[in-house]
Amino acid sequence: MDPWIVEISRGQRVESSSLGHGIVVNADGETILAFGDLKRETFPRSAAKWIQALELVLSGTADALCLSDEHLAIACASHNGEHEHVTLVNQWLTQLNLDVDDLECGITLPFTEPVRLKLSHDHVTATQLHHCCSGKHTGMLSVCQHVGWQTNGYTAYDHPLQARIREHMSLIFGVDANALDYASDGCSVPTYALPLDIMALGFAKLGAERFSDEFNEASRRLRNAQASAPFMVAGSDRLDTQLLEAGQGRLQVKMGAEGVYLGAIADREIGFALKCEDGSLRGQEALVVELLRAIGEDDLVNRLPKASSQPVIETARGEAVGQISVRRGR
């Protein structure tokens, strides 16, 4: 099956291109749309945070700590490290009587250039709080503390929390997650290789609530929290936040590193997975917008900022000199 091609044009010439693979299925496994290599195995990376955060609700931790939608949303986030994100995570750690050194995500600069520049301007040194996964890690620490698991080493493959996450993955994706190839994500948590079609079906089932009442309630609560607090999922000028706002509660979407994107449209009981082969963010985002157009979500796409729905190439002076577009395969 032909892949889609992301084309980056300058003037009238295509300057660069990327291949895209993707699939949309309903919760019964019927294919709605497909392009490229549907069996392309890849790590979902941060696109799997909806699943990684399930235990935060299922264990009773969220209720015990009286966590808000903002807390649950940032537990599913790849956030920008903006003031609101850092403040919330820091307050949450304080509630747990923990501090930044208890996080195991490591230190990175904030996700976007404007936030990095602001840190530099304010002479602020980045900490683990600024890591885009610090909310997820604080959620994991919360579960460990509530359940009675050791907080030190919670990112290790053999830690009880990671084993519990694999149980959830096995149920959702219909595979033995303990048998999957795995590696460490950028934040040190295990990530597991899966084919795109399996990931799309799992997300379709999550959105359609095809599991037990308890499991469905937990996944719905996380989805609703992200819709309620979309800024906490990503932040300023980020497609995840923009799609959650435009989706008005219908969507569960999440980007992952190296060009992976997973999503579910709950009221249509469909899920999707895509991979931009070169791992680029610009290719990934162009593909997901075009995928949504292709399955009839034009109204949703039209609610996005023009910079996301019709991305352009600009000079340093802000002059549009090209565009990013997607050429669908035959």
Three-class DSSP category at 115: helix
Q: How many C-alpha atoms does 6 have within 13 Å on its Cβ side?
A: 28
- Domain covering 4-327: architecture: 3-Layer(aba) Sandwich (3.40)
Mean pLDDT of 251-279: 97
CB neighbours of 69 closer than 8 A, spacing ≥ 6? Answer: 224, 225, 228, 229
- Give this prediction's pTM: 0.96
Q: What CA–CA distance (Å, rounded) separates 4 from 183?
A: 28
Q: What CA–CA distance (Å, rounded) separates 285 from 310?
A: 11
Q: What CA–CA distance (Å, rounded) separates 19 from 244?
A: 26
Element (H, E) at 250: none
The CB density around residue 237, as the number of other CB atoms within 10 Å, is 15
Task: Write the pLDDT tens digit of every residue in 231-245.
Answer: 999 999 999 999 999
Q: Output DSSP code: residue 254.
A: E
Q: What CA–CA distance (Å, rounded) separates 45 from 65?
A: 27
Q: What CA–CA distance (Å, rounded) separates 151 from 137?
A: 11
Task: Write the pLDDT tens digit of every residue in 192-236.
Answer: 999 999 999 999 999 999 999 999 999 999 999 999 999 999 999
Percentage with pLDDT > 70 across the chain: 100
